[in-house]
Chain A
Amino acid sequence: MDTELLKGTLSLLILSLLSRKAMYGYEIAATVHRDTDGSFTWREGSLYPSLHKMQADGWIRGEWEETDSGRKRRYYHITPKGRTALKDKRESWAELTRAVNSILEKTNEKA
């Protein structure tokens, strides 16, 4: 899949995943990979600048937690502000896909 398209939707995907449950970075990347059957091929390193930016914006908050194996992981939780942002982004995305689909369908009909 086009990585430029993915970049624009990364915050939507992250907020959406975190609205299910708190996750750490690798878990987010693995979940995206699993849930899309590997359709999203991205640089996993891009995830962290996005996470840090969203944290700075107050949409998510990160907390270090120690696992049973003794490893420490930084779990990200969605905040109320993040939920509002997710709602807005979902609506924008629905509007965008609707508009794009509409153009694509009309183009197909003519073809």
Chain B
Amino acid sequence: MKKLEQYLDQVCRRIGGPRALRQHVRQELREHLLDAIAQHKTAGLPEDAALERALAEFGQAEEVRSELEATHGQRLLAVVIENAMQWQERTMKAKWLWTTWGYLALGLVILLQALFLTFLNIFIVPRFQLLARHGFMDASSVEAHDLSWMVNWPVKLHDWTSNHTTLVLLLALAATGLFEWRVRSENKNFMRVAALGTVAIALTIILVLMTGSMLIGFEIGAPRVEPMTRPWAVEQVGSMSKSLTAIEQALAKRDWSEVEKQTDTAGDSLRQLSEGPALASLTRQNEAPSVEELRVQLNLAREELGAVHQASAAKDTSRLENALLQLQEAWSPLQAAASRASR
């Protein structure tokens, strides 16, 4: 009677409406079929044949189901689940689909890795070499950590691949050709996927080691920039202070062209201080003022210098005096930071 229940499942599973209705319909159809089976058995058929006959007379499950659905509507969830199951069954059987997908995914990964490796070799490793040559990598720091190999091996790999790329490609082609020509195993597909997977893993390891080595090597070997920048930054602060004094003197003489000239010089000093690590070199770790605070003051000073410039263009003495006061107020923390840092 398992077949009878399977048939009833097929017919009733998707009928819309409440669960009780589905149960009633199912019971009603079951009673009908049981009556029909009993009738055929009475007529002399064995049980299996009686069941087959009763089901045949009742009609194809799909047809009966569709007529019942036309009367009671469809159960959306059941339809979705059934369609999903059918799709799953179809796709699970589609061996070609999964094989093709596997090849495409692996091929794409290997291609991306090869492109990235090429990019590293052409653009990044030469720059890395240049940094080391120009002293931006402190060899003694790297050696102190026993990490010289980290700095050296990406360069060696770069040199080796530059000289042997053609050979590597030819070997890979020859191996692929040999494999396709000679191997006749039933597991050939799996072997191919395994080989591609191994290549992908090898390339991943090379890439991780290469980028990791360069990053860690640079992190350890890069010298501290602030001590080198500090004298230059202090020089810019001095230049700015000198310009301020010169503006005051020119103002006393009403020498507007000198005021203009010194304002431009001051502008250059402020711009140079705002670039690179200059401001950071005027600070000390864990001491006020911080770089952010100095940057705020520097921006303020640039704004006030703009006001000085406008007042000078208008030849407005009182406005200029007022703007100069504001500028000196904004500037003083930077001046203080420079004198402290220079100690």
User: What is A's interface to B at a CB cutoff of 8 Å?
Assistant: 24-26, 29-30, 43-46, 48-49, 52-53, 56, 64, 71-74
Contacts and interface: CB of A to CB of B under 8 A. Distances in A.
B71 interface: yes
B68 A52 contact: yes
B32 A26 contact: yes
B25 A45 contact: no
Contacts of B35: 26
Tell me the dominant secondary structure on chain B's binding face: helix
Given A45-B58, A53-B71, A56-B71, 4 more contacts: A43-B57, A48-B32, A48-B64, A52-B71
A44 B24 CA distance: 17
Interface centre among B27, B34, B63, B67 (most CB of A within 10 A): B67
Interface residues of B, number: 23
A109 B67 CA distance: 42
Nearest to B39: A30
Contacts of B39: 30
Contacts of A52: 25, 68, 71-72
23 contacts: A24-B31, A25-B31, A25-B32, A26-B36, A29-B32, A30-B39, A43-B63, A44-B36, A44-B58, A45-B58, A45-B59, A45-B67, A46-B59, A46-B64, A48-B25, A48-B29, A48-B68, A49-B67, A52-B25, A52-B72, A71-B31, A72-B27, A73-B31
Contact of B31 (A29, A46, A56, A72): A72
B248 to A, nearest CB: 101
Interface of B: 11, 24-25, 27-29, 31-32, 34-36, 39, 57-60, 63-64, 67-68, 70-72
Nearest to B65: A45
Interface centre among B11, B31, B59, B72 (most CB of A within 10 A): B31
A45 B28 contact: no
A74 B31 contact: yes
A26 B54 CA distance: 11
Nearest to A52: B71
A45 B55 CA distance: 9
A64 B27 CA distance: 10
B58 A49 contact: no
Contacts of A44: 32, 36, 57-59
Contacts of A43: 57-60, 63-64
